[in-house]
């Protein structure tokens, strides 16, 4: 029980997870507004606006910067980690999503001529740069409000 009490007292960790939660909720709300449908999968699914990965890691690094100092080793580690995560979200994972779209098109084309047993791949895996930046801004804002 003591372990959980200490974790709940860690306002840097709580701020980071709050930022993630807010980004996930915003995905559902934005999908509701733009697509006129309530899609709870957006709450747990990857991709979409804003990037919850970016929101979490930027809130974490900003919180550490605010609490430990912008010249601290902890901030340098956290910011480096955040940059890698955001690069991956908009670069590597975005490319995987594009490949999934192409493969799904191939599967669909083949299915029109003869049935095959392949399942469509998940296409919404990565983020656009705008989604990453929006998540980062959300994280910075939450950190500045909470810390």
Q: In the chain, what are the domain boundaries?
A: 2-90+128-146, 92-125
- The residue ranking higher by pLDDT, 96 or 85, is 85
DSSP at 108: H
pTM over 0.75: no
**Residue 14: pLDDT band with limits 50, 70, 90:** very high
Contact 26, 50 (CB under 8 A): yes
Local confidence band at 114 (pLDDT 50, 70, 90 cut-offs): low
Say how far apart CA 40 and CA 43 lie, in whole Å.
5
> Quick one: which of 77, 16, 85, 15 has its CA closest to 46?
85
pLDDT given for residue 2 in this prediction? 86
| Residue 121 clears pLDDT 60, i.e. is over it | no
Residue 122 is predicted with a pLDDT of 60
Mean pLDDT is lowest, of 2-16, 40-54, 102-116, for 102-116
Confidence of residue 58 (pLDDT cuts 50, 70, 90): very high
Check residue 134 and give its pLDDT: 85
Distance CA 14, CA 137 (A): 17
Q: Is 3 buried (19+), middle (13-18) or exposed (0-12) by CB count in 10 A?
A: exposed
């Amino acid at each position: 029980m003591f372990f959980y009490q200490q974790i709940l007292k860690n306002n840097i960790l709580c701020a980071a997870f709050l930022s993630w939660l807010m980004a996930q909720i915003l995905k559902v709300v934005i999908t509701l507004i733009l697509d006129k449908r309530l899609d709870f999968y957006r709450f747990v699914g990857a991709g979409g606006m804003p990037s919850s990965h970016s929101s979490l890691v930027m809130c974490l690094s900003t919180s550490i910067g605010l609490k430990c100092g912008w010249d601290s080793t902890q901030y340098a580690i956290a910011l480096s980690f955040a940059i890698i995560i955001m690069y991956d979200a908009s670069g590597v994972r975005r490319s995987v999503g594009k490949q999934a779209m192409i493969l799904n098109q191939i599967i669909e084309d083949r299915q029109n001529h003869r049935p095959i047993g392949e399942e469509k791949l998940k296409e919404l895996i990565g983020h656009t740069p705008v989604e990453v930046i929006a998540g980062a801004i959300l994280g910075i804002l939450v950190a500045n409000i909470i810390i």
